[in-house]
Each structure stands twice: as structure tokens, then as C-alpha cells.
Copies of this chain bind each other. A is one copy, B any other.
Amino acid sequence: MFSLVNTSGAIREPLAEFFGVMILVVFGCGTNIMVSTTSNTAVAASPKGDWLSINFGWGCATAMGIWVSGGISGGHINPAVTLAFAVFRDFPWRKVPAYIAAQVAGGFVGAGLVYANYIHAIDLVEGSRHIRTVPPESPGTAGYFGTYAAPYMSNGSALYDEFLGTMVLLICVCALTDTRNGPPPPGLVPLAIFLLILVIGIALGYQTGYAINPARDFGPRLFTAMMYSRKVFTFRRQYWLWCPILGTILGAQFGIFLYDTFIFTGNETIINRPNKAARAAHLHAMNTETRKPPAGTAVDP
């Protein structure tokens, strides 16, 4: 039978990332849609969830996405994480494009799966199957998929919000996978990350919708560009680019920089590797290795 067992990591790793983000978005955007639509009495007599449900939904969604991909691809399921590990922890740059493409594709497909599931509920909220609105229009159901800032937020504040959220995300992810810092057993790292995403949503989630992951935002946003309108890319000019993409990528870089500089004691980071020759040798070894899980794996069994 058809099987991918013997294919190289070049195919299998991005596939795992694809399914990881797909699961993340099916559960996460599914939560957004179910909680939001059922607060409309045309859909349900009483709301089926509240903001805490959304926080739990995204927390569990992230844990499941990592468990689905962890042992194969490292369970990044987030381009900001992939880029942070590429810059600081020698995750091979040659793998980065396929990882990010797979992550975005997973977000796109996941959005499609839940859009199909909730199409009647969205019709009821919009008032017709021929209407689809994008924030700041009301009801703005495109906001179930991509993230949009609260009206009172300045662009600078929105950028800072995503930067801060992804910065603390990376500090914690680095700690949770640092065997010198008392982390959970590898197979339970996703459980700890469940708590981490839960609290990011509770403490930092409202103002910009806590993207903290470019693929979780861009994949579904691309889907709504097709099903809704191009307005998803013109909200506040290039909001989609500055906040959920650049804000998260920069925050991740700064978070791992802080961790590797002030806490990390391993030598797998560029921060702790003064000798250029040693680093070059290490990088060469990394780039010629083909079948093992990548360095910087979130869940390395």
C-alpha cells in the first residue's frame, strides 16, 4: 500500500507540521466560531461558551497540535518558533521554507474544515448566506479566523501586545524544553504548553486576539480572503503583516535571546558558543544529518 514510512524527513517533517497546525486551527478557530455564533439567539437559546472557553479551547488546541507532530517534526507548529530555533539553536535553515509553507497550509485547510462545519451558523449570524463581513464591520465574522485589534488600540500598542505575548511564549517554551532547568518529561511538554497558552489567552488575549503565531493567523486569513473579501488584508492597512506576523516573529526572537543569554546554560545556542570553528563544525553536522528530529524540538522523546 501507499505509505510514507520510508520517505525522507524532507517530506514527513513538513507533513507533521501541516497536520499539527490543521488540528490547532480546527480546534482553535472552531472554538472562536462556536462561542461567538451561539451568543446569537438565532443560533442557540443560550451561549455555548464564554471567554474562558476560548482560552481553554486554544490551550488544548495547541497541546494537541504539538502531540500530533512533536516526535516527527519537533512540534513547532508556529513559524515564529521555527525562526527562533533557526537563528539561535541551529535548526537547519534549509528546512525553514518547507516548515513555514506547511504550517500556513495547515492553517488554511483547518480554517476550511471548520468554515464548512459552521456555515449555517455563520449564515444566521450574518443574516444571509450572501453576506460576509470583515471587522470593523459588524458582525465581522471574518474575525473568527484571522485576528483584529480592538478599536481603541493604536497600531503601536497592537504591535507591542503581540511582541510581548510571543516574547513570554518563547521564554517559557525554552524553559519547558531545557533539560538543565527541570522541565516536564518530554511526552508531557504539550501539557505544560496547554497551561502556557491558557494563561496567554487569559492575561494577554483580548486586545489583539493573541495570534502569537503567524501561521495560525495567516493561513485562516488567506482562507477568508477567498471566502469573504480582500478587506481582511486591508484592515488598518497592513495590520495582518505588522502585528500577527512581524510582531510575533520579533517577540519570539527577543524572548529566546533573553532566555539564552540570562538563563540557558547549554551550548546549543549561538549565545553560548564563542568559538567560531566549533560552531561551524556543529552546524555542518546539523545540516548533513537527515533523518533525525530537528534540533530545538519542542517535544523530543
Contacts and interface: CB of A to CB of B under 8 A. Distances in A.
A53 interface: yes
A282 to B, nearest CB: 14
B19 A199 contact: no
A133 interface: no
A172 B114 CA distance: 17
B274 A1 contact: yes
A124 B56 CA distance: 28
A280 B23 CA distance: 34
B262 A4 contact: yes
A284 to B, nearest CB: 19
State the majority secondary structure of interface residues on A.
Answer: helix
Contact of A51 (B48, B124, B150, B196): B48
Instruction: Tell me how many chains of this kind the complex includes.
Output: 4
Max count, chain B CB within 10 A of own CB: residue among A12, A35, A56, A274 = A56
A214 interface: no
Interface stretch (A180-188, A216-224, A239-247): A180-188
A120 interface: yes
25 contacts: A5-B265, A15-B262, A23-B171, A28-B203, A31-B202, A38-B206, A39-B46, A50-B50, A52-B53, A55-B56, A60-B198, A61-B203, A64-B172, A64-B195, A64-B199, A67-B183, A67-B184, A70-B182, A72-B181, A117-B157, A117-B161, A119-B157, A120-B157, A185-B188, A188-B188
Nearest to A38: B206
B168 A117 contact: no
A204 interface: yes
Contacts of A38: 206
Nearest to A190: B192
A290 interface: no
A19 B5 CA distance: 37
Contacts of A12: 263, 265
Contacts of A194: 195
B27 A203 contact: yes
Interface in A223-263: 258, 261-263
Contacts of A191: 184, 191-192, 195
A182 B172 contact: no
Max count, chain B CB within 10 A of own CB: residue among A53, A180, A258, A272 = A53
A211 interface: no
